[in-house]
Amino acid sequence: MSIRVINSVTVLGAGTMGSGIAAACASAGCKTNLLDISQELADRGKGNMLLGRAPMLDDPGAADLITTGNFDESLKLAAESDWICEAIVEDLEAKRSMFSRIESIRKDNSIVTTNTSGIPLHSICEGMSERFRKDVAVTHFFNPVKVMRLLEVVPSEDTEPDVIDSLAVFARNQLGKGVVYAKDTVNFIGNRIGCFWMLAGFHKGREARQNGVSVERIDALMSTALGIPSTGLYGLIDLVGLDVMHLVAANLDNNLPVDDTGRKYLAFPPEERAMYDSGQLGRKTGGGFYRMLKKDDGSRLKQMYDPASGGWSDAAGTSVDQDAAELMFNSDAEGKFVWNLISETLCYAADLVPEISNDIVNVDRAMRWGFNWKMGPFELLDCFGPNEVAERLQSEGRKVPNMLNVLRSSGQSTFYFGSGSQFLAVDGTQQDVPEE
């Protein structure tokens, strides 16, 4: 395996993501340039690395490895960098323009990547030179960069294999990342499945609320019992923001295949649309599905929003005692909600292999490392019993997804074998799980 050594890095864009990437590279001992539209923005990005209870830089001395500058006067600094990582605004034309400027100055065999969270690489590279296309890839970090383990690495059809190998070695060994290999499709792996779960959750959650299941109870169900972080569904949406979810849906609308199941969930339900239109977006606006009030005695009170009535009530706190399998197959309103949303999400994931990834392992790792699920989609299917899930899908007249059909044809009963050391490949054979 041929490896291109990465000792010097230029990060384009000094926002939260760009600063996080630059801080990670400097912490790994790389000489790093951090550039933005203005010197002020670049300096602010560098300064932010030392702020907060968990600063991006554990060692303040690593800041000495970071040189700041602006795009007009300092872009030439990228000419000698081994790796140039673009992390500017999530806009196709802005990225294409920046790539054109970089291509005119970069050295031979330098690696160029974009940190886009969902714009297909082939769209960014369309019409660019062969020299550029063979050295370009996606490196999609998750925020905050210091904390989140996942790095999705995505080649184009023209990317040289040693580019991907070099990025993976550097990310694992120098940055401490868990590398997932994705294909050049919209939103890659983590956000393709994770955002589907959230957008479908709007609609399945609305059905559950109409059947008497509260917002708070929905979050308890979509939480630790299923191996999902305690923020649950609506808590995560509050953290992300309805404005961001609206942008995610718009990007998916522009880029999803016309027959993709996700299309039926892109439009917000009426209640969520009303929240979006009124500016009730989540934590960033002081409240979304939840809000925190400060009482006269200084304590804080958590309240829950009822999208149907438009009213607020105190969050009482609720817990779930059943395990994942019990939740999935309960026949009451809560069980139906869990089945409806989780089965829809798992079926979606099982139909996306090999479209978004060559194997199930990368899909499971993306959801574990990027969304902090304890189990990825195929690990969850093994927990529930893949054949039992397939039988219920058939009984409901629903389509059995591709990988469940592969499993049944193989004669196996689970996707992983040998205490997790082997997995079911798309051709029905057993393969060794690659090292993390």
Please check whether residues 70 and 124 belong to one and the same domain: yes
Q: What is the CATH number of the domain that holds 164?
A: 3.40.50.720
Domain that holds residue 286: 191-314
pLDDT cut 90: percent of the chain above it: 94
Please check whether residues 68 and 204 belong to one and the same domain: no
Q: What is the CATH number of the domain that holds 265?
A: 1.10.1040.10
Query: Vertex 376, ends 371 and 379: CA angle to 5°?
Result: 160
- Report the alpha-carbon distance of residue 84 to residue 99 in Å, rounded: 10
Residue that finishes a domain, picked among 181, 203, 232: 181
Contacts of residues 163-171 at CB distance under 8 Å and 24 or more positions apart, as own/partner, are: 163/4, 163/111, 163/134, 163/135, 163/136, 163/137, 164/137, 165/1, 165/2, 165/3, 166/3, 166/4, 166/5, 166/6, 166/111, 167/83, 167/111, 167/113, 167/137, 167/139, 169/3, 170/6, 170/83, 171/139
Please check whether residues 121 and 201 belong to one and the same domain: no
Where do runs of H (alpha helix) occur along 229-332?
232-240, 242-255, 270-278, 324-329
Mean per-residue pLDDT of the chain: 96
Please check whether residues 201 and 224 belong to one and the same domain: yes
Cross-strand partners of 387: none
User: Does 57 reside within a domain?
Assistant: yes
Token digits of residue 111: 């690696």
Smallest Cα–Cα separation from 10: which of 107, 118, 128?
107
User: Does 334 reside within a domain?
Assistant: no
Please check whether residues 29 and 166 belong to one and the same domain: yes
Token digits of residue 223: 């939480």
pLDDT cut 70: percent of the chain above it: 100
Please check whether residues 260 and 351 belong to one and the same domain: no
Residue that finishes a domain, picked among 314, 332, 358: 314
User: Does 326 reside within a domain?
Assistant: no
Peptide bond into 229 cis (omega under 30): no
Predicted TM-score of the model (pTM): 0.95
- Report the alpha-carbon distance of residue 116 to residue 282 in Å, rounded: 23
Give residue-wise pLDDT tens across range 333-360: 999 999 999 999 999 999 999 999 999 9
Give residue-wise pLDDT tens across range 396-405: 999 999 999 9
3-state secondary structure 79-103: HHCCEEEECCCCCHHHHHHHHHHHH
- Report the alpha-carbon distance of residue 12 to residue 84 in Å, rounded: 8
Please check whether residues 177 and 39 belong to one and the same domain: yes
Indicate if the alpha-carbon torsion angle 242, 180, 106, 28 is positive or negative: positive
User: Does 411 reside within a domain?
Assistant: yes
Instruction: Indicate the pLDDT class of residue 224, thresholds 50, 70 and 90.
Output: very high
Give residue-wise pLDDT tens across range 148-201: 999 999 999 999 999 999 999 999 999 999 999 999 999 999 999 999 999 999
Smallest Cα–Cα separation from 82: which of 107, 110, 105?
110
Smallest Cα–Cα separation from 205: which of 243, 234, 240, 241?
234
Instruction: Indicate the pLDDT class of residue 52, thresholds 50, 70 and 90.
Output: confident
Give residue-wise pLDDT tens across range 107-156: 999 999 999 988 899 999 999 999 999 999 999 999 999 999 999 999 99
User: Does 210 reside within a domain?
Assistant: yes
Q: Identity (one letter) of the amino acid at 253?
A: D
Token digits of residue 269: 């339900």
pLDDT attached to residue 3: 95
Whether the CB-CB separation of 330 and 322 falls below 8 Å is answered with: yes
Peptide bond into 55 cis (omega under 30): no
Residue that finishes a domain, picked among 158, 181, 204: 181
Smallest Cα–Cα separation from 194: which of 240, 254, 225, 258?
240
- Report the alpha-carbon distance of residue 389 to residue 325 in Å, rounded: 11
Please check whether residues 14 and 123 belong to one and the same domain: yes
Please check whether residues 12 and 122 belong to one and the same domain: yes
Please check whether residues 231 and 159 belong to one and the same domain: no
User: Does 321 reside within a domain?
Assistant: no
Whether the CB-CB separation of 115 and 124 falls below 8 Å is answered with: no
Please check whether residues 142 and 257 belong to one and the same domain: no
Please check whether residues 15 and 161 belong to one and the same domain: yes
- Count how many domains the chain has: 3
User: Does 328 reside within a domain?
Assistant: no
Whether the CB-CB separation of 140 and 171 falls below 8 Å is answered with: no
Query: Vertex 298, ends 297 and 300: CA angle to 5°?
Result: 110
Instruction: Indicate the pLDDT class of residue 296, thresholds 50, 70 and 90.
Output: confident
Token digits of residue 8: 């010097």
Output phi, psi for 10, to 5 deg.
-120, 125
User: Does 273 reside within a domain?
Assistant: yes
CA-CA distances (angstroms) from residue 386 to 157, 392, 396, 400? Answer: 33, 10, 15, 11
